[in-house]
């Protein structure tokens, strides 16, 4: 990918040789040669990003040309939002207090140059602030009341860098640009796109095992991607890629959601997209959307502190209580007595304003129908863990008894009502990758939940389709990228 550094005045910037081409903003905006460039990263170092300034138009036209600008127009707009700055202050509160805890003054100005500060002790905080906004040069104002708070943050031009700091700029810039992918590939293979697969090698129950991750990567390389496995710590490298595939368990108050949100805002193709994560990881939302669509589910009651007392006296037992954001059977409990119900409700309502209560529907197994691009992809039966009422039994002392057996089946062998109902449910969410859990009950079907980020493990979900399972997901990413390129 070609790298352009766009500035107002070439004479202002003395950059070492670090694989970038330095051009003026006026040249970038007016020269047709730049407009015709493909696969180009644009580092916008203009003096101002104000609306309708040269800097603003560099990022705006870069996006229109299919280039990848830093900062993006979304980043530029984010700086105007006081709510985003407040939210950022809350998210980084622990780090802010740690960074400034020993200061005697009540105010502090932090300069951020290419994600760094001239004092190494502030480098981590500087990097986090850069990761939030992606402006090469920034200044943040902090003030101490009862505790330290971020009061204001904004971009600066090179002229805003104090003279005493100027000596650091070439070093910081060279290090910054060297962290991005090399302009020339290290292989002769003609890759079309760059794909990041987000994973956590330390996760105890990841959505894909190591072998499945290798299969995804191999399928992607066969189909024209250059692939890299990335982890949470590499958030700062996200914009190096064209597409993001998340293979780490997702949640809203979690870095997986931040990866998805940022990637989507920057125009990348993403599975799982942030909207799907937001909807699928909240069981209250799922219960409401399934009810409104008249899709059969176990009888469900949404409980809060106002109606908890009446529910305790009237709900049919046994019942299943669920935290709205529970996953992999965690945060899900079965209650059989009124005393159990009252105790567990009190515990769960301390964590969430709402709790779901569902009728207990015992079955030997749950169907999982994988759905991609609004079409059924695979089918799998997950059997209950030995001696337990759930697929997962986290309380088992024996690791082998914590997870029930499973078997994959051709879609043609799955009852039509199961596939049709699962497809109807998934399509309420979007056109991404989903796993819909369905129970067969008394000749009918009931949807238990819709999962984003469904499990796709070797020798389980891939038994029927083999490599075609992995290729289907990668092809979906490829198709979306090609369609986006055609639109541009």
Instruction: Tell whether 333 and 249 lie within a shared domain.
Output: no
pLDDT at 456: 97
From 86-100, 115-129, 330-344, 404-418, the region with the lowest mean pLDDT: 86-100
Q: Are the C-beta atoms of residues 344 and 322 closer than 8 Å to each other?
A: no
% of residues, the chain, pLDDT over 90: 62
CATH number at residue 234: 3.40.50.20
- Three-state DSSP state, 147: coil
For residue 403, what is the DSSP state? B
- Residue 211 phi, psi dihedral angles, 5° rounding: -65, -40
pLDDT at 395: 66
CATH number at residue 435: 3.30.470.20
Instruction: Tell whether 440 and 374 lie within a shared domain.
Output: yes
From 73-82, 94-103, 140-149, 248-257, the region with the lowest mean pLDDT: 73-82
Asked if residue 202 belongs to a domain, the reply is yes
pLDDT at 351: 84
- Which of 62-76, 168-182, 218-232 has the highest mean predicted lDDT (pLDDT)? 218-232
Instruction: Tell whether 216 and 259 lie within a shared domain.
Output: yes
Whether the model clears a pTM of 0.75, i.e. scores above it, the answer is no
Instruction: Tell whether 373 and 447 lie within a shared domain.
Output: yes
Asked if residue 328 belongs to a domain, the reply is yes
Instruction: Tell whether 444 and 420 lie within a shared domain.
Output: yes
Q: Please say if the pLDDT value at position 323 is more than 90.
A: no
pLDDT at 402: 63
Instruction: Tell whether 370 and 457 lie within a shared domain.
Output: yes
From 69-78, 144-153, 241-250, 445-454, the region with the lowest mean pLDDT: 69-78
Q: Please say if the pLDDT value at position 180 is more than 70.
A: no
Instruction: Tell whether 194 and 246 lie within a shared domain.
Output: yes
Asked if residue 211 belongs to a domain, the reply is yes
Instruction: Tell whether 381 and 461 lie within a shared domain.
Output: yes
pLDDT at 368: 96
Asked if residue 313 belongs to a domain, the reply is yes
Asked if residue 441 belongs to a domain, the reply is yes
Instruction: Tell whether 239 and 198 lie within a shared domain.
Output: yes
Instruction: Tell whether 347 and 256 lie within a shared domain.
Output: no
pLDDT tens digits, one per residue of 24-57? 999 999 999 999 998 888 999 999 998 889 999 9
Q: Please say if the pLDDT value at position 185 is more than 80.
A: no
Asked if residue 92 belongs to a domain, the reply is no
Q: How many structural domains does the chain have?
A: 3
The token pair that represents 139 in the structure block: 């200044």
> Any residues with CB less than 8 A from the CB of 248 and at least 6 apart, and which?
198, 199, 200, 203, 206, 207, 256, 453
Range of the domain at 335: 299-359
- Three-state DSSP state, 94: helix
Q: Please say if the pLDDT value at position 133 is more than 60.
A: yes
Instruction: Tell whether 353 and 305 lie within a shared domain.
Output: yes
Instruction: Tell whether 257 and 212 lie within a shared domain.
Output: yes
Residue in the block written with tokens 């106002």? 306
Asked if residue 253 belongs to a domain, the reply is yes
Please report the sign of the dihedral spanned by the C-alpha atoms of residue 295, residue 297, residue 303, residue 308: positive
Q: How many CB atoms lie within 10 A of CB 99?
A: 23
Burial class (CB in 10 A: 0-12, 13-18, 19+), 34: buried
Q: Please say if the pLDDT value at position 243 is more than 70.
A: yes
DSSP 180-199: SPPSS-SSSS---EEEEEE-
Asked if residue 55 belongs to a domain, the reply is no
Using CA atoms, how far residue 378 sits from 57, 356, 390, 456, 463, in Å, is 46, 29, 22, 10, 10
């Amino acid at each position: 990918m070609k790298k352009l550094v766009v500035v107002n005045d070439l004479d202002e910037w003395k950059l070492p040789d670090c694989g970038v081409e330095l051009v003026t903003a006026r040249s970038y905006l007016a020269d047709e040669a730049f407009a015709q460039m493909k696969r180009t990263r644009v580092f916008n170092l203009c003096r101002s990003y104000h609306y309708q300034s040269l800097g603003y138009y560099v990022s705006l036209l870069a996006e229109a040309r299919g280039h990848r600008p830093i900062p993006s127009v979304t980043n530029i707009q984010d700086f105007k939002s006081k709510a985003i700055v407040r939210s950022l202050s809350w998210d980084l509160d622990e780090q802010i207090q740690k960074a400034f805890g020993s200061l005697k003054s009540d105010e502090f100005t932090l300069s951020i140059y290419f994600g760094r500060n001239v004092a190494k002790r502030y480098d981590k905080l500087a990097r986090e602030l850069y990761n939030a906004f992606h402006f090469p040069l920034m200044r943040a104002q902090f003030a101490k009341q009862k505790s330290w708070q971020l009061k204001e943050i904004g971009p600066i031009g090179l002229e805003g860098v104090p003279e005493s700091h100027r000596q650091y700029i070439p070093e910081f810039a060279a290090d910054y640009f060297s962290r991005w992918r090399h302009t020339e590939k290290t292989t002769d293979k003609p890759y079309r796109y760059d794909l990041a697969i987000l994973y956590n090698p330390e996760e105890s129950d990841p959505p894909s095992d190591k072998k499945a991750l290798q299969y995804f990567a191999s399928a992607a390389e066969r189909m024209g991607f250059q692939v890299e496995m990335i982890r949470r710590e590499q958030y700062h490298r996200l914009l190096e890629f064209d597409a993001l595939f998340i293979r780490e368990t997702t949640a809203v108050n979690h870095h997986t959601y931040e990866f998805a949100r940022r990637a989507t805002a920057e125009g990348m193709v993403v599975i799982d997209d942030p909207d799907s994560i937001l909807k699928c990881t909240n069981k209250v939302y799922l219960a409401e959307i399934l009810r409104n669509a008249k899709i059969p589910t176990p009888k469900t009651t949404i409980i809060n502190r106002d109606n908890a007392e009446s529910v305790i006296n009237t709900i049919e037992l046994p019942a299943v209580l669920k935290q709205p954001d529970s996953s992999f059977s965690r945060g899900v409990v079965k209650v059989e007595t009124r005393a159990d119900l009252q105790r567990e409700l009190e515990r769960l309502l301390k964590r969430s304003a709402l709790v779901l209560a569902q009728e207990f529907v015992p079955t030997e197994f749950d169907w999982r129908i994988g759905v991609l691009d609004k079409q059924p992809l695979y089918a799998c039966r997950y059997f209950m863990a030995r001696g337990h009422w759930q697929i997962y039994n986290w309380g088992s002392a024996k690791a082998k008894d914590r997870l029930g057996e499973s078997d994959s089946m051709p879609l043609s062998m799955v009852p039509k009502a199961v596939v049709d109902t699962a497809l109807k449910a998934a399509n309420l969410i979007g056109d991404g990758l989903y796993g819909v859990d369905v129970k067969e009950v008394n000749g009918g079907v009931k949807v238990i939940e819709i999962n984003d980020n469904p499990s796709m493990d070797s020798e389980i979900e891939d038994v029927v389709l083999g490599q075609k399972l992995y290729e289907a997901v990668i092809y979906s990413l490829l198709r979306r990228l090609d369609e986006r390129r055609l639109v541009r």
